[in-house]
Amino acid sequence: MQKILLHLDSSVRPSSFDRIVAIDAGADQVLTYGSVTPEAVRDLVHGAIFTRAPKDLRNTAIFIGGTDVATAEQLLAAVADTFFGPFRVSVMLDANGANTTAVAAVARIESLGDVRGRRAVVIAGSGPVGSRVAGLLAERGANVFVTSRRSADGAVAAKIQRRFNVSVQELVLGSGADAADAIRDAEIIVNAGPAGVCLVPLDAWTSQTSLQILVDLNAVPPVGIEGVEAVDKGVTRHGVMTFGALGVGSLKMKLHKSCIARMFERNDLVFDVESIATVARELNSTSQ
């Protein structure tokens, strides 16, 4: 029996990246639908789960993508609402790669040691990747600060608290000129800012004596943290361990493929950010 992945994408042009990765991860067929709304989910899912007997539904799975993470979360909720009894399949949410990227970034950091009690600053923590990095680090016991460009009014921290049930604090970082103040006393810095925008100049972080780990998730020149190369994967620069976007991306790809493959082993898995993080820790333990 073929392994069929139902790919639900909220974007007008569904991601070719997600389709290719699914095939490489073992899906025999990828049925892709674009511009999917929560209202359209029920009929699409029913078409997928009613064509096979319950005992065969592990051969069907659903991947939720798109560039709009908030809409994708609504699609995930709508998918869950369609399931009943044995009529359910495994589901993965990774819109815009936010979940796997955030998990991979945190896994790279944790590969260097425990984060409990350490001061971590997440640049652009209001975005989908940054907020997930912040939430995961806070869950693991780090003292997390998130930056936004305009104000520290508590809205970003409240959003992260609602999602992860953790406390984080906010800072303002409007431009590179503010970076030294925003990252003062940080031991860990993660940049999740927009592509092609340098938010942390070289002199801002090299002057920080407490800094131990830098992670820059921007691969488009200029990089988000000056002095970090996109290919860095545990490279020491100015006494600090650095990871670039491609150094994180290799693990992100491994996670993405592993979760897709696992969905075809059972019909009751839900891969959101926390469960993807569990997979990352399993992969890390088996590789040691």
* Boundaries of every domain in the chain: 4-97+251-287, 102-248
48/7 Cα distance (integer angstroms): 11
Look at the block and give the residue holding tokens 């994408």. 9
User: Which whole number is the average pLDDT over 267-276?
Assistant: 97
**Other beta carbons less than 10 A from residue 274's beta carbon:** 15
User: Which whole number is the average pLDDT over 41-60?
Assistant: 97
Phi, psi at 253, each rounded to 5°: -65, -40
Phi, psi at 32, each rounded to 5°: -105, 135
Residue 148 in this model has a pLDDT that exceeds 90: no
pTM, 2 dp:
0.94
> So what's the architecture of 4-97+251-287 in CATH?
3-Layer(aba) Sandwich (3.40)
The top-level CATH class assigned to 102-248 is alpha beta
Asked if the domains 4-97+251-287 and 102-248 are classified in one and the same CATH topology, the answer is yes
Residue 235 in this model has a pLDDT that exceeds 60: yes
